[in-house]
Amino acid sequence: MYLCDMFNKPKLAIQDFDYLLPDAKIAYSPAQNRADSKLLVWDKAIIGESRYAQIANFIPSNATLIFNNSKVIAARILFEKINAENITRVIEIFCLEPTEKYTPVLLAMQAIQKVSWHCLVGGAKKWKEDVLIKELVINEEHILFYAKKINQLDGKFIIEFSWNHPTITFSEILSVIGNIPLPPYIQRKANQEDKDRYQTTYAIEEGSVAAPTAGLHFSEEVFASLADKNIIQKYLTLHVGAGTFMPVKADTIDEHDMHAEFIEVDVQLIEYLKENTGIENKPIVAVGTTSLRTIESVYWLGVKALIHKQRNENTLPLNDLQLGQWEAYELAEHNFTIKEPMNALLDYLKSKGTEKLIAKTQLMVTPGYQFKICNALITNFHQPKSTLLLIIAAITGDEWKKVYTHALENDYRFLSYGDGSLFWMHNR
Specify whether 247 is located in the same domain as 175: no
Burial class of residue 316 (count of CB atoms within 10 Å of its CB; 0-12, 13-18, 19+): buried
What whole-number percentage of the chain has pLDDT above 70?
94
Helix (DSSP H) and strand (DSSP E) numbers for the chain:
10, 19
Specify whether 63 is located in the same domain as 115: no
Q: Domain residues for 218?
A: 14-72+201-424
Specify whether 237 is located in the same domain as 334: yes
- Summarised one tens digit per residue, pLDDT across range 235-256 is 999 999 877 767 788 999 999 9
Specify whether 245 is located in the same domain as 346: yes
- Summarised one tens digit per residue, pLDDT across range 13-22 is 999 999 999 9
- Residue 282 maps to a domain: yes
Specify whether 166 is located in the same domain as 25: no
Residue-averaged pLDDT of the chain? 91
- Residue 107 maps to a domain: yes
Specify whether 313 is located in the same domain as 382: yes
What is the pLDDT at residue 392?
Answer: 97
| Among 76, 43, 44, 75, CA closest to 59 | 43
DSSP 259: P
The domain total for the chain is: 2
- pLDDT above 50 for 108: yes
| Among 373, 270, 388, 369, CA closest to 328 | 369
What is the pLDDT at residue 6?
Answer: 43
- Summarised one tens digit per residue, pLDDT across range 351-395 is 889 999 999 999 999 999 999 999 999 999 999 999 999 999 999
Phi, psi of 287 (to 5 degrees): -90, 95
Specify whether 267 is located in the same domain as 283: yes
What is the pLDDT at residue 175?
Answer: 92
Specify whether 36 is located in the same domain as 142: no
- Summarised one tens digit per residue, pLDDT across range 207-239 is 999 999 999 999 999 999 999 999 999 999 999
Specify whether 263 is located in the same domain as 160: no
- For 55, how many CA atoms within 13 A lie in the half-sphere containing its CB? 34
Specify whether 364 is located in the same domain as 319: yes
Specify whether 253 is located in the same domain as 167: no
Q: Are 367 and 397 contacting, i.e. CB atoms less than 8 angstroms apart?
A: yes
